[in-house]
Structure 1
């Protein structure tokens, strides 16, 4: 009988390979509130105080590997072991919270922070970073470049480094690690009196559970909200961002609609050196195909160096000069002060083109522009059932 129990426990403790966080409630339902150690969280704001996710392990394993137990799991045979790391440390397991040194309090006066993330198994193809709380200094308000505070993820053979700053709580990214053994997180922090806080869940993901190729972000579910980085009331979209936001097509769903989160939820200036462009025309157009305003609108859209790409339903409609405004044309490239032409209220775009992807393409700043015209994008999406 003892041998049977031991075998069950060993098998249980081995099955802890990570999956995307929204599908991952690793034994959290088994952790009872009154079993949580409260000593480290007594001063947490209400929106931070919660039961953390962990890995079900035996008590000895948890302690030896540097974790902390937060209640029981596996019918009492194991503990929910939570791992935390901060600056100048290494991540060597498949689920770790990376936090600022003073978390849950704000950190001040730092100049740098670094972290190594080591791949634990050859089957790991991606590492997912969930920015539960992420508040660093803002980018240059006129150019969108992260100059003072910089958060960077690098790897020896990665094709492109991820660089962000500002406010990104609630965002997530997937980084491919199929051909590398570790990632480096490097943070350069200015000497200005900026209070910072971050709490990032780092999850190692197998190939079968990861995001599709080419997707920096991957959303699941019939409904959801997608945003560009640093989308906030006092924010500004970041420069030098080139990635895809991908949405899993759910079962029996054939199309998807996108709608701005609020009236100022789509503000992306074209980022062109052409000073004659009327950005107001990017959201206008009579639709008659003849007016001077319409022709000027076509020209303005063609100058969208900073742009959002929403795939079209049919490739035949993807032609120069037919982006947003002519009757029956397809909405491919979007920039300006509105997602839809003026008069389209409520603004809602529907597409049946699959996969459901959104392209974010922001280059280096061509000239300083008002941050109010570059808040970025926030869209609510809803998948529509097949008829």
Structure 2
């Protein structure tokens, strides 16, 4: 490039214009700066220099005018990995954005209402995915499961509103926005003087990349861990929850097996009374899966439960015929029998679990309402 500039100087010198021509070093410097304003061919996800957050690959100018933070190069150095982080009172109109508490990464304390609005960046966006990197808020009422002190709400979408509190770091949720035109509102009502921290990654998902319809959580991989919201050994599962956990069927896998994370990792409601109990305690007598003996549908048995498809003839449908059924689980044991290891397999597709926790119906023992932690592993076709 230097030789080309020298030739140009000789040419313009002959015309008497060399005195007004900038030096070669100045031209090279200017050219390098102008390249930063060229549009990047694709705006794709990139990894920030801290290796922890994700961003969108943009040119420097677009990142700056959108109030993003440049965090390392991308697109062969022609762009920057632009990371967006906002707090209370913001409007989000781009793809990957981190919602953080005031003063993050420090803890915040005090009473306040924090609202953030999120608009679809394109008409073909059909879902928002919320990844709770840090989510530590006030715990629910220990005896009722209701979010009394803090509540995190997502409203304005085309699916059921999300209502959460407690400790949900590492969890995620999908929120349908296919048929909406207005912004989705995230509201955090904080009513006590306690310390909190949150960092929530919000991604906008286009139709061809969306989670299957009806899936509020969507897991990938042949094995993993599933937990209900606010699951902890000394915690309490949330009241008024109704959502579906889905697991993608991986290639060459035909069934799936579930087992508790440990001996105390499935506690949803009061213990189930065994079949040989005569019911002398005055309450209803329950079968192995929580079905009241002599009563109707299993859905009448437990206000808090998880429902899983099953494909064994050992279970009978409400109409009395053998075959496919909804396998209902509640109480303090995941398996119907205490003999041998606790493991349930299913080949019904898709691989789904439905969590149904009713509204608070009164004070209950928190020791019986920790929630659920399950390990899953897909089984190869034979």
Scaled by the length of structure 1, the TM-score of the pair is 0.80
Q: Which residue of 1 aligns with 2:362?
A: 367
Q: Which residue of 1 aligns with 2:7?
A: none
- Long gaps (5+) in structure 1: 17-25, 37-49, 271-278, 286-290
1:75 positional shift: 1.2
Please point out which of 270, 283, 291 is paired with 1:301: 291
Q: Which residue of 1 aligns with 2:78?
A: 77
Matches of residues 281-360 of structure 1 in structure 2 within 5 Å? 281=273, 284=274, 291-292=276-277, 296-298=285-287, 300-302=290-292, 303-313=301-311, 317-320=315-318, 332-360=327-355
Matches of residues 206-245 of structure 1 in structure 2 within 5 Å? 206-245=206-245
Contact kept, 8 Å, 1:136 with 1:166, in 2: the verdict is: yes
Secondary structure at the counterpart of residue 116 of structure 2? strand
Query: Cα distance 1:52–1:371, how it changes in 2: closer, same or farther (>3 A)?
Result: same
Q: Does 1:187 align with 2:196?
A: no
Q: Which has the higher strand share?
A: 2
Matches of residues 79-118 of structure 1 in structure 2 within 5 Å? 79-118=80-119
* Partner Cα distance (2:314, 2:328) in 1: 15
1:208 positional shift: 1.2
- Long gaps (5+) in structure 2: 2-30, 293-300
1:52 positional shift: 1.4
Query: Cα distance 1:316–1:123, how it changes in 2: closer, same or farther (>3 A)?
Result: farther
Q: Which residue of 2 aligns with 1:39?
A: none
Matches of residues 234-273 of structure 1 in structure 2 within 5 Å? 234-269=234-269
Contact kept, 8 Å, 1:298 with 1:322, in 2: the verdict is: no
Q: Which residue of 2 aligns with 1:202?
A: 202
* Partner Cα distance (2:52, 2:272) in 1: 48
Q: Which residue of 2 aligns with 1:160?
A: 160
1:343 positional shift: 2.2
* Partner Cα distance (1:66, 1:79) in 2: 13
Deviations 1:310-357 (A, max 9, x none): 10115894423989xx9x997700000110134234211100011100
Query: Cα distance 1:314–1:264, how it changes in 2: closer, same or farther (>3 A)?
Result: closer
Larger radius of gyration: 2
Q: Which residue of 1 aligns with 2:150?
A: 149
* Partner Cα distance (1:225, 1:164) in 2: 20
1:89 positional shift: 0.6
1:293 positional shift: 6.0
Deviations 1:161-185 (A, max 9, x none): 1101000001111111111132000
Deviations 1:50-86 (A, max 9, x none): 5311111111111111000111111111111100010
* Partner Cα distance (1:104, 1:110) in 2: 18
Secondary structure at the counterpart of residue 196 of structure 1? strand
1:221 positional shift: 0.8
* Partner Cα distance (1:56, 1:244) in 2: 33
Scaled by the length of structure 2, the TM-score of the pair is 0.81
Contact kept, 8 Å, 1:298 with 1:321, in 2: the verdict is: no
Please point out which of 356, 377, 380 is paired with 1:382: 377
